[in-house]
């Protein structure tokens, strides 16, 4: 005769299996293809991506996620597109310069039979990033105008030379992205959705993104990134508000103490 405890364990085991199956089915449903672009739980998968974070003084960080094939074709870096491994010291040396510092080159990963790598950079002046050879396809502007800051990045042609593109398994659905993290309230921007050409919204943390088909980027189709924002950073405004609230709380407490002391004197008097 089956005990109640055994029955409960069997029921729990079956529920766990059904839950695992449900997760797999949901993940399979979420994965879908539209216009040749694979989307998943984490959004698009990019062949090349620049993730730029800047402050109002022009300093910031830049993270690049890209396949070796994209680094070779788009930026002309001397790396083997279909290499079975990644020489991270070589990648670091290719990006290190007088205007950018390489913070790290984490462990690479593999996708679609291509090696991908991440390069984390930091810099003091975004306007000088074009002096670094791997970033020379862009011109960066950051100017102050009447209490506002205007950021503009113009991405020019790729390093691809006619007749040199190798077969690395690209199927035409690959996407290139330029992501921008801004320090203050965004007033205007020209980011548009790649699928319907409609203006995109601002993601959490003041993040905007611009996308382009890899084929267009290889052909050097111009891309202009433009954002107008407040000159006062969100962090500064938040600290100012916090300081104001703290000062108000202290004054309120002092007032209460003063009122209590005077009330006590009146009663004893």
More confident residue, 41 or 23: 23
Find the mean pLDDT for residues 190-194.
94
Q: What is the pLDDT of residues 158-188, one digit of tens each?
A: 999 988 898 999 999 999 999 999 999 999 9
Distance CA 75, CA 134 (A): 6
Count, in order, helices (H) and strands (E) of the chain.
5, 14
Report the pLDDT value the prediction gives residue 110, as an integer from 0 to 100. 96
Distance CA 66, CA 126 (A): 21
Burial 190-219 (b: 16+ CB within 10 A, else e): ebeebeeeeebeeeeebebbbbbbbeebbe
Q: What is the pLDDT of residues 112-137, one digit of tens each?
A: 999 999 999 999 999 999 999 999 99
Find the mean pLDDT for residues 234-262.
50
| Sequence-separated (6 or more) residues with CB below 8 Å from residue 102 | 92, 95, 96, 119, 120, 121
User: What are the φ and ψ backbone dihedral angles of 158, each rounded to 5 degrees?
Assistant: -80, 175
* Minimum mean pLDDT range among 150-159, 210-219, 254-263: 254-263
The CA-atom distances, in angstroms, between 11 and each of 5, 20, 21, 102 are: 10, 14, 15, 54
Instruction: Show the tokens assigned to 165.
Output: 């593109």
pLDDT grade for 193, boundaries at 50, 70 and 90: very high
Find the mean pLDDT for residues 143-157.
94
pLDDT grade for 21, boundaries at 50, 70 and 90: low
| pLDDT for residue 9 is more than 90 | no
pLDDT grade for 33, boundaries at 50, 70 and 90: very low
| Sequence-separated (6 or more) residues with CB below 8 Å from residue 255 | none
Q: How many CB atoms neighbour CB 84 within 10 A?
A: 8
* Domain boundaries, given as residue ranges, for the chain: 39-232, 235-264
| Sequence-separated (6 or more) residues with CB below 8 Å from residue 261 | none
DSSP 163: T
User: What are the φ and ψ backbone dihedral angles of 179, each rounded to 5 degrees?
Assistant: -110, 145
Residues in the chain: 269
Q: What is the pLDDT of residues 65-109, one digit of tens each?
A: 999 999 999 999 999 999 999 999 999 999 999 999 999 999 999
Find the mean pLDDT for residues 250-255.
58
Among residues 97, 147, 104, which one has the least CA distance to residue 125?
Answer: 97
Distance CA 251, CA 269 (A): 27
Distance CA 200, CA 207 (A): 11
């Amino acid at each position: 005769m089956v005990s109640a405890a055994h029955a409960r364990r069997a029921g729990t085991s079956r529920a766990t299996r059904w839950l695992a199956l449900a997760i797999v089915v949901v993940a399979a449903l979420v994965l879908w293809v539209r216009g040749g672009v694979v989307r998943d739980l984490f959004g698009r998968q990019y062949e090349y991506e620049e993730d730029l974070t800047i402050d109002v003084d022009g300093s910031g960080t830049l993270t690049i996620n890209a396949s070796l094939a994209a680094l070779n074709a788009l930026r002309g870096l001397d790396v083997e597109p279909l290499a079975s491994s990644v020489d991270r010291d070589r990648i670091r040396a290719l990006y290190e310069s007088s205007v950018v510092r390489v913070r790290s080159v984490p462990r690479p990963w593999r996708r679609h039979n291509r090696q991908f790598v991440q390069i984390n950079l930091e810099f003091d002046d975004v306007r000088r990033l074009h002096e670094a050879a791997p970033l020379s396809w862009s011109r960066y502007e950051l100017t102050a105008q009447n209490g506002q800051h205007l950021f503009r990045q113009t991405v020019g042609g790729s390093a691809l030379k006619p007749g040199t593109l190798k077969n690395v398994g690209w199927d035409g659905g690959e996407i290139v992205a330029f992501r921008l993290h801004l320090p203050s309230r965004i007033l205007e921007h020209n980011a548009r959705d790649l699928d319907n050409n409609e203006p995109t919204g601002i993601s959490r943390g003041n993040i905007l993104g611009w996308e382009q088909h890899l084929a267009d980027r290889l052909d050097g189709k111009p891309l202009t990134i433009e954002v107008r924002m407040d000159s006062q950073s969100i962090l500064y405004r938040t600290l100012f508000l916090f300081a104001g609230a703290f000062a108000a709380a202290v004054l309120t407490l002092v007032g209460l103490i003063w009122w209590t002391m005077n009330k006590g004197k009146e009663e004893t008097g």
